[in-house]
Amino acid sequence: MASLKETLNNLPESPGVYIMRDSEGTIIYVGKAKILKNRVRSYFRHSEDRDSKTAMLVSNIYSLEYIVTHTEEEALILENTLIKRHKPKYNILLKDDKTYPHIKITVQDEFPRVEITRRVKKDGAKYFGTFVKMSAVRDSVEVLRKLFPVRTCKRAISTQKTQRPCLYYQIGLCSAPCAGKISKEEYMELVKKALAFLDGRHDDVIDMLNEEMNRYAEELKFEKAAVIRDRIKSINELYKKQSVYTLKKEERDVIALYSDNWHYAASVLAIRGGRLVGKRAYVLEGMGAEEPGKAIESFLVQYYDSNPEIPKEIALQHEPESFEALSGLLSKRRGSKVNIVVPKRGAKAELVNIAEQNAKEELELHQRNVLAMQAKSMELLKKLKDTLRLEELPKVIEAYDISNTGSTEIVSSMVVFKEGHPDTKSYRRFKMKAITQQNDYGSMQETLLRRFNRYLSGSNDEAFSTLPDLILVDGGAQHVSVSKEVLEDLGIDIPIWGMAKDDRHRSHRLVNGVTGVELRRDNDLLRFVASIQNEAHRYALQYNKNLRRKRMQKSVIDELEGVGPVRKKALIKAFGSAKKLKEASVEEIAQVKGIGPNLAEKIKKQLESK
């Protein structure tokens, strides 16, 4: 790999993405540039002008690489892909593990249905959302079905064969197209109105309903006209409750950021039909070593990558760094022009201020929650310290577990909890080298020996370079005893306790070979220790399963002598599987390109012996 200095000297004057790594090779920052040479070199000039976040980033850069793209828009897409894949420490990261609920109408079906879903697919359906609370989605669907009784079931509907209507028809929440209670044309009109209603075009819906009501009245179908009248009344009542922000039927998202020294929060206000119909707020995790223009751009790309609803206009607090490229990217995703504006005065600017205030409140709430969680964690760790009579507060806890499949896939896990929370970047796993048969005690000793020898040798790996305050091993007194032997031989003094299980495979007591502590009397402590034990078990089992899967997937063809990659490919192409190859005759194998009679006979003998 080229040195940092060599890379900086050879940067091209092209658009692309740059990737910064630390001394361990971990990606710590991903950025995009219109001109790579200018952008990347700017990090290393005028060090006195750097803010604290950028200074910290630059101090940790050990190596640099870049990927050239054809356009700035391509760089924007690639940057977002790499950020989501690697989650770099210093990037703005829209961490949205929750899959938010949406309302879905399957317009691609002959008789569309409405449903609630958390997965947005490119399947031809229309999606509406996103909603933060499931209760809001259920309320919306309930209102929708009362106004426009579109079906929710997955029945196969045929106009040739009618079915018995379900209870929803009886209570007025479905128009029963399955039973022929409504024609296909009338049903599609209901769907059309439901779509307009969800899209915020309430005036259009009311106009359509008025026309329908008048038509029924002229035809003397007064009962049907009364039903439509009630629907209009319900929509008007619902409509009054929404805040009006413009008399125009505008479709716009308003987005603003708020930052403290290290974090950003973002707020999105959704304006549909001139009314505020939704709000979402995020705390953007990561150090955020970016200017506001870059931060808001990064947020926009990530937000609309997971949110299928892109409005006609987006009003922003700051101008994005790559204004044209971003506008082009969003326009392609929407399928029509997306107008990005940065208002300085007027009604749009006021909305941006409201969004900024919401972002500020979100960040302050997050900070309060973090402080509350930290206080609770410290209280829990103090309780653990007192219970186990430790000299130091166990701010760093390492937990170990063993997993094996008999005498194969013998592995172990090391999970780390810092200040009461999982520190996943410090997790490590081990595949046994010296232990070749099932031996949990020997496996635990090999694991600890390898882990703490790495510490004594001065490892650069952050997970091995320091010592924990407490070690927890999965098992009872004997596991603790063999673990203590390893640490005593290495001259390391760390408290070791075993997480003993009951019949339900749940940690119920801690043992250290001399005494034991019951945890059932303290639910908080029991849950905490059980969460550590479960995490260590999960991580070890996951590694075991991965190795077992690889072994199962390995074909007997891989083990044939005289068969290299080219011949292996030819055999698989000819027979499709190892099983069919075993069933083949020597003559059939010999006909494969590159095999011949002599090698075919050798292959057949090898297969028969397996």
CATH of residue 62's domain is: 3.40.1440.10
Domain that holds residue 78: 4-86
166-225 pLDDT per residue, tens: 889 888 889 999 999 999 999 999 998 888 877 767 677 778 788 888 988 888 888 888
Q: Are residues 44 and 128 in the same domain?
A: no
Of 329 and 52, the one with more pLDDT: 329
Q: Are residues 430 and 484 in the same domain?
A: yes
Would you say residue 387 lies in a domain?
no
Going by C-alpha positions, the residue among 50, 52, 66, 56 that lies closest to residue 18 is 66
- Residue 97 confidence (pLDDT): 46
* pLDDT band at residue 128 using 50, 70 and 90 as cut-offs: confident
Least confident window among 69-83, 203-217, 534-548 = 203-217
Pairwise CA distance, residues 458 & 454, whole Å: 7
Q: Are residues 491 and 576 in the same domain?
A: no
Q: Are residues 266 and 326 in the same domain?
A: yes
234-244 pLDDT per residue, tens: 666 655 544 44
For the cut 80, the answer to whether the pLDDT of residue 75 exceeds it is yes
- pTM for the whole thing? 0.58
- Strand-strand pairing, 470-474 and 496-501: parallel
- 280-to-133, 270, 276, 406, 546 alpha-carbon distances in Å: 11, 8, 12, 50, 38
Would you say residue 37 lies in a domain?
yes
Among 506, 528, 551, where does a domain finish?
551
Residues 67, 19 contacting (CB under 8 angstroms): yes
Question: Which whole number is the average pLDDT over 549-565?
Answer: 73
Would you say residue 376 lies in a domain?
no
Pairwise CA distance, residues 254 & 311, whole Å: 10
Alpha helix stretches (DSSP H) within 267-400: 292-306, 323-334, 347-388
Question: Which whole number is the average pLDDT over 550-568?
Answer: 74
Q: Are residues 65 and 151 in the same domain?
A: no
Question: Which whole number is the average pLDDT over 247-262?
Answer: 79
Interhelix angle for 440-456 vs 477-490, to 10°? 30
Would you say residue 388 lies in a domain?
no
Residues 279, 82 contacting (CB under 8 angstroms): no
Would you say residue 381 lies in a domain?
no
Q: Are residues 236 and 287 in the same domain?
A: no
Considering 106-115, 197-206, 574-583, the range whose residues carry the highest mean pLDDT is 106-115
438-483 pLDDT per residue, tens: 899 999 999 999 999 999 998 888 899 999 999 999 988 999 999 9
Token pair belonging to 182:
């409504």
The count of domains in the chain is 5
Q: Are residues 482 and 585 in the same domain?
A: no
- Residue 247 confidence (pLDDT): 44
User: Residue 472: how many CA atoms within 13 Å on its side-chain side?
Assistant: 27
Phi-psi category of residue 556: left, alpha or beta, with phi > 0 → left and psi -120 to 50 → alpha: alpha
For residue 352, what is the domain's CATH number? Answer: 3.30.420.10
Q: Are residues 547 and 400 in the same domain?
A: yes
494-539 pLDDT per residue, tens: 999 999 876 555 567 899 888 888 887 888 899 899 999 999 999 9
Of 234 and 388, the one with more pLDDT: 388
Would you say residue 93 lies in a domain?
no
Among 503, 526, 551, where does a domain finish?
551
- Residue 520 confidence (pLDDT): 79
**What is the average pLDDT score of the chain?**
85
Would you say residue 117 lies in a domain?
yes
- 568-to-51, 212, 268, 293, 550 alpha-carbon distances in Å: 57, 70, 55, 53, 18
Would you say residue 378 lies in a domain?
no
Considering 230-244, 484-498, 571-585, the range whose residues carry the highest mean pLDDT is 484-498
Pairwise CA distance, residues 299 & 255, whole Å: 10
Question: Which whole number is the average pLDDT over 31-46?
Answer: 88
Q: Are residues 476 and 405 in the same domain?
A: yes
For the cut 90, the answer to whether the pLDDT of residue 405 exceeds it is no
Determine the number of helices (DSSP H) and then strands (DSSP E) in the chain. 19, 19
Q: Are residues 222 and 268 in the same domain?
A: no
- Residue 445 confidence (pLDDT): 95
- Residue 466 confidence (pLDDT): 92
Least confident window among 11-15, 208-212, 593-597, 600-604 = 208-212
Q: Are residues 232 and 316 in the same domain?
A: no
Question: Which whole number is the average pLDDT over 378-401?
Answer: 94
Instruction: Name the E strands within 219-350.
Output: 251-259, 264-272, 275-284, 313-316, 339-341
- Residue 244 confidence (pLDDT): 46
- Residue 505 confidence (pLDDT): 52
For the cut 80, the answer to whether the pLDDT of residue 557 exceeds it is no
For the cut 60, the answer to whether the pLDDT of residue 323 exceeds it is yes
Q: Are residues 535 and 593 in the same domain?
A: no
Among 86, 113, 138, where does a domain finish?
86
Residues 265, 362 contacting (CB under 8 angstroms): yes
2-17 pLDDT per residue, tens: 678 888 888 899 899 9
User: Residue 569: how many CA atoms within 13 Å on its side-chain side?
Assistant: 3
- Residue 57 confidence (pLDDT): 85
